[in-house]
Amino acid sequence: MTIRWKKTNDPGGKPLRLLVHGASGAGKTWLARTVPDPSKCVFVAIEDGALSLADIEMNVAVLEQSDDLFRLFELLEGRPEIEWIYIDSLTEWAEWILHEEMQKTTDGRKAYGELNNKVKYFLSGVMARAPQHVVATAKQSTTHSDTGRVLSPSMPGATLSEKTPVAHMFDCCWCLHVVPDGEGGATRQLQTDLSANPRYASKTRDPWGRIRPMEPANLAQLAAKLRPENK
C-alpha cells in the first residue's frame, strides 16, 4: 500500500476541478486562454476547432474516439510540466459515448447505463486522481431543481443532468455570461454563486470567502484566489 503524505499548509492545496457552462457563443473555448500559462495547458478538442485560441501557444489533443480521454489522462499523469487540462466539451464527450454505445445495442437503457458508468468513472476516478487542474466546459440546458427551473450544465439523459448531476463532482460549477458594458460593448463574466442570479446553476467551494458572486472571466485570477501560494 502506498500512502501519500502532505501538510495542512502545503501551498496551493489539491488541484482544482472546474465546470463551466454557458450558452452557445458565450466564449467557453475562448476562456481557455485565461489559464495562468497557456503553454502549460493541454486543450482537449472534442468539439471541432479552436479558432479563438489560434493566436496563443497551447498544446491541443484531438481525440479519435471517446476512450482516448482516459488514455490521455494516463499519459499526462507523468507530465509535471503540464499544469492544466481543458476539456471542451464534457457534453460533447458524453454524447459521443452515447452514440458509440447505441451502435453496440438496440437496448437504449443499456446504452444509457454504459454512458452513466463511463462518465462517473472518469469524473470520480480518472479526473479525481489527475495532478493537474482540470476545467471542463458544458453546453447549457434547462433542468429542474429544488429552486425551480434553472439553466445548468447539459448532459445526455436525466441521470447525469438531474438525478445525480455531474456538477456535484466538481469543486466549482460556474456560468459564463456575456454582459453588456453600456457602451455598445460587452465583457465576459463568470457567475460563481446562485445569489447573483438563481436562474443559473452555480456553486463554489470557497471556505475563505474570496470569490465574489460575479467575477471577471479569468481563470488565472480565480485560481490564485482559490489556491493561493503560502508566503
Mean pLDDT check: name the lowest of 3-17, 86-100, 120-134: 3-17
Range 9-20 average pLDDT: 79
Ordered domains of the chain (ranges, CATH): 17-226 (3.40.50.300)
Residue 146 burial (C-beta neighbours within 10 Å; 0-12, 13-18, 19+): exposed
Give the span between the Cα atoms of 49 and 72, in whole angstroms. Answer: 18
Give the residue, 84 or 207, on which the prediction is more confident.
84
User: 43-77 pLDDT, tens per residue?
Assistant: 999 866 677 788 899 999 999 999 999 999 999 99
User: Whole-model pTM?
Assistant: 0.91
What is the dihedral angle through the alpha carbons of 154, 176, 146, 143, rounded to the nearest 10 degrees? -30
pLDDT at 231: 38
Residue count of the chain: 231
Instruction: Please answer whether residues 162 and 189 qualify as being in contact, where contact means their C-beta atoms are separated by less than 8 angstroms.
Output: no
**What share of the chain in percent tops pLDDT 70?**
90
Range 156-172 average pLDDT: 91
Greatest alpha-carbon pair distance for the chain in Å reads: 61
Give the residue, 173 or 183, on which the prediction is more confident.
173
Instruction: Please answer whether residues 60 and 212 qualify as being in contact, where contact means their C-beta atoms are separated by less than 8 angstroms.
Output: no
* DSSP structure string for the chain: -------TT-TT-SPPEEEEE--TTS-TTGGGGGSS-GGGEEEEE-SS--GGGTTS--EEEE-SSTTHHHHHHHHHTT-TT--EEEEE-HHHHHHHHHHHHHTT-S-HHHHHHHHHHHHHHIIIIIHHH-SSEEEEEE-EEEEEETTEEEEEE--SSHIIIIIS-GGGGSSEEEEEEEEE-SSS-EEEEEE-STTT-TTB--EE--TT--S-SEEES-HHHHHHHHSPPP-
pLDDT of 11 higher than 70: no
pLDDT at 7: 56
User: 72-121 pLDDT, tens per residue?
Assistant: 999 999 899 999 999 999 999 999 999 999 999 999 999 999 999 999 99
pLDDT at 149: 86
pLDDT at 213: 97
Mean pLDDT check: name the lowest of 46-60, 130-144, 214-228: 46-60
Give the residue, 129 or 161, on which the prediction is more confident.
129
